[in-house]
Structure 1
Amino acid sequence: MKAVSTCVSILICFTLMGQNDKSIETCLTENEFDDRYASYSSNGQRIVFESNRDGDWQIFLMDSNGENVEKLTINHRINRRPTWHPNGKIVLFESSKDGAKELRIIKVKSKKERIIKPFINKEFLFAAFSPNGKKIAVSLKESDDKSNIVILDKKGKLEKKVTKNNNRNYYPKWSKDGKELVYFSRKDTENKDDEIYRINIKTDKEIRLTNWPKNNFCPSWSADDTKIVYVTSMDESRPEIYIMNIDGNNKKRITHNEDGDTLPNWHPLENKILITGYRNGNYEICELKLTENNN
């Protein structure tokens, strides 16, 4: 099944200082439904994503060029926010039925599922395996205004509380060496807007990377741990994709679209980024190939 759009566009992009950069966008899905939350497998050959193309949210796979789309989850639940195990054979996702939510994993080949039972009966969001596959970083939601990031073992037992405040802390993503997390939080903004932070899991040393009076969110590491891609809300428009160094310097805007872009994830081997783009009235999975100016 071919899902790749034949339209490839050149996006004229801007840094915060006004410098022009370019990236090449290819839409990997093209339909009337919403396709979101895409990420590459560890070898870059497959992509997992969520879609409501069958009436409710389910998890799908496709090749890195958008072909051979395959439905992964076949249960009668709502399945969202998939992420890969580093071995490329397992997918972690959120699943819910009748209001009850849980974390599940599914084997790509056999499609066999099992529940991960966290240490407490709360809502867990944005779960991600560590690079060695032994731990899970996830946001524990207590209310709309309060959530904290914790680390679980692969069975759901609590190993560490990463954040400990009364604000929103979401979307933990592991560095490739497994030593740090990036995430976004409202802890320094009186719960008004999201900013991006980087924290060392062992020492708890933390750096605030953004300071912008709009929302900065959904950060993700580059394959070599030298850069972070993220999303910024723009004035009077939808969000756009930016890249920065891991110290927060050298911020560059790499998309410039009227309809907005979000949920970026870097290719594990190449200078490409998967995004969720709002195109022609719905969300599609798009791939950005970065030029040398974006490196």
Structure 2
Amino acid sequence: MLFSGSSFLQAQGFKEEQLTNSAYDNRYASYNHEGKQIIFESNRSGRWQIYSMDINGNSQTRVVSSNANDRRPSWHPYENKIVFESDRSGVNHIYTYDFDTRELQKVPIPLNGNKSHAYFAPNGKEIVFNYKVSDQNFNIHKVGLNGKRLRTYVNNAYQNMYPRYSPMGDAILYFSRKHTKREADEIYVFNIYARKENRLTNSPLHQTYASYSNGGTQIAYVASMENAPTEIYMMTKEGKSQRRITFNSHPDTLPNWSPQDFNLLVTRTINGHDQIIKILLKEEL
């Protein structure tokens, strides 16, 4: 169904469809590699659980049932599998779930403490994730699904959040406050082979939750306006040509691209609850 937000503001952007509409929160939506199914998290059962739906928002079904909080799912790049985090053991660990075999597996990461925001590498055999050192310190690591080949990518005294691989697997996006005296989030890219990073945004406002297009040339991200809701922006992979693509009176966050980069899935707060919205990038108003 079409979302009917502020008509004046929305008319400046793209056509949109609202895929969830409930008195609960729905977040972290992403497409599978075929673009035929969407995974997301919802607290509609009283705790965070993982659900799937079709691309029109129909057939919403819980994927894994547990007495824990299962959160932040994302899809395997070419298999019918997801990675997510769960506190079912009292500490946040990373798990995979295979839709074909119905097999749930814990990734045996040799680190004590909370792991979060896991994301598959393009090879499908490794993940990148956040490791919590303290409330103000999150580092970024990668590891094989068998728990081997643990490597540290970003390690400092700041919150380095939401790592996302490039489609080629040669770089990782994330956001951090390490150069802003902890006052504003900015987006960085870490080149895995050169072991160097580049700051892509430079603003007094927050820039967060960056995601590569599947073509690898564009980045969607979130920016907060002063005294205004967060909005979705785009820029080139070099951080150039930054432009705003959502114009409405509700906060938008967590953009994820469709396989052919035709659409974006975002999370929008509507009437006090987070809902999943599809932005039709090929159908500008």
* Rounded Cα–Cα distance in structure 2 between residues aligned with 1:124 and 1:47: 23
For each residue in 1:100-146, what CA deviation from the matched residue of structure 2 results, as whole angstroms up to 9, or x when unmatched?
A: 22111111234321111211112111100101101111111111111
TM-fit CA distance, 1:97: 3.1
TM-score (norm 1): 0.91
Residue 215 (structure 2) pairs with residue 235 (structure 1): no
Task: Measure the CA separation in 1 of the matches of 2:174 and 2:42.
Answer: 24
Q: Which runs of 5+ in 2 are unaligned?
A: none
CA contact (8 A) 1:11 1:22 kept: no
Q: 2: CA distance between counterparts of 1:21 and 1:259? A: 15
| 2:103 aligned to which of 112, 124, 144 | 112
SS of residue in 1 equivalent to 2:182: coil
Deviations 1:272-292 (A, max 9, x none): 100001112211000001247
Instruction: Write the letter of the residue equivalent to 2:75.
Output: W
Match among 110, 117, 127 for residue 118 of structure 2: 127
Residue of structure 2 equivalent to 1:208? 199
Query: 1-side partners of 2:177 and 2:34: how far apart?
Result: 34
SS at match of 1:118: coil
Q: Secondary structure at 2:229's aligned position in 1?
A: strand
Cα RMSD (Å): 2.0
Aligned partners of 2:261 and 2:141: how far apart in 1? 30
Note the alpha carbon deviations across 1:21-70, whole angstroms, 9 max, x for none.
Answer: 52111001111111100001111111000001111110001111111111
Give distance in 2, aligned partners of 1:7 and 1:244. 25
2:87 aligns with one of 89, 93, 96? 96
Matches within 5 A, 1:39-50: 39-50=30-41
Gap change, CA 1:11 and 1:93, over 3 Å in 2:
farther
State the one-letter code of the partner of 1:153: G
Change (3 A) 1:130 1:141: same
Match of 1:287 in 2: 278
Comparing 98-107 with 228-237, which one deviates more in the overlay?
Answer: 98-107
Partner of 2:21: 30
Contact 1:12 1:255 in 2 (8 A): no
> Structure 1 vs Structure 2: percent identity of aligned residues?
37
2:12 touches 2:247 (CA, 8 Å); kept in 1?
A: no
CA contact under 8 A between 2:15 and 2:283: conserved in structure 1? Answer: no
1:213-228 alignment, distance < 5 Å: 213-228=204-219
In structure 2, which of residues 70, 86, 93 is the aligned counterpart of residue 79 of structure 1? 70
CA shift, 1:205, in A, is 2.5
C-alpha distance in structure 2 between counterparts of 1:7 and 1:277, whole Å? 11
Letter in 2 for 1:252: R
- Is 1:136 equivalent to 2:127 in the alignment? yes
Given residue 194 of structure 1, which amino acid in structure 2 is its aligned partner? Answer: D
- Aligned-pair distance for 1:156? 2.4
Match for 2:88: what amino acid? K
Which runs of 5 or more structure 1 residues have no equivalent in the other structure? 15-19
Matched residue, 1:17:
none
> Is this contact kept in 2: 1:10–1:25, CA < 8 A?
no
1:155-174 correspondence to structure 2 within 5 Å:
155-174=146-165
Tell me, in whole angstroms, the C-alpha distance in 2 between the residues paired with 1:74 and 1:118: 23
CA contact (8 A) 1:102 1:124 kept: yes
User: Judging changes above 3 Å, is the alpha-carbon distance between structure 1 residues 6 and 232 closer, same or farther for their aligned structure 2 residues?
Assistant: closer
Q: 1:120 to 1:68 in 2, by over 3 A?
A: same
Question: 1 CA distance for matches of 2:6 and 2:168?
Answer: 33
Question: How far 1:237 moved relative to its partner?
Answer: 2.0
Contact 1:171 1:183 in 2 (8 A): yes
Compared CA separation, residues 229 and 37, structure 1 to 2 (3 A): same
In structure 2, what is the Cα distance between the partners aligned to 1:130 and 1:178? 6
1:179 aligns with 2:170: yes
Helix, strand or coil at the partner of 1:86: coil
Q: Deviations over 1:60-100 (max 9, x none)?
A: 01111111111101122110000111124111101013742
Partner Cα distance (2:63, 2:246) in 1: 30
Is the 8 Å Cα contact of residues 39 and 48 (structure 1) preserved in structure 2?
A: yes
The answer on whether the counterparts of 2:210 and 2:220 sit within 8 Å (CA) in structure 1 is yes
1:246 to 229, 237, 242: 237
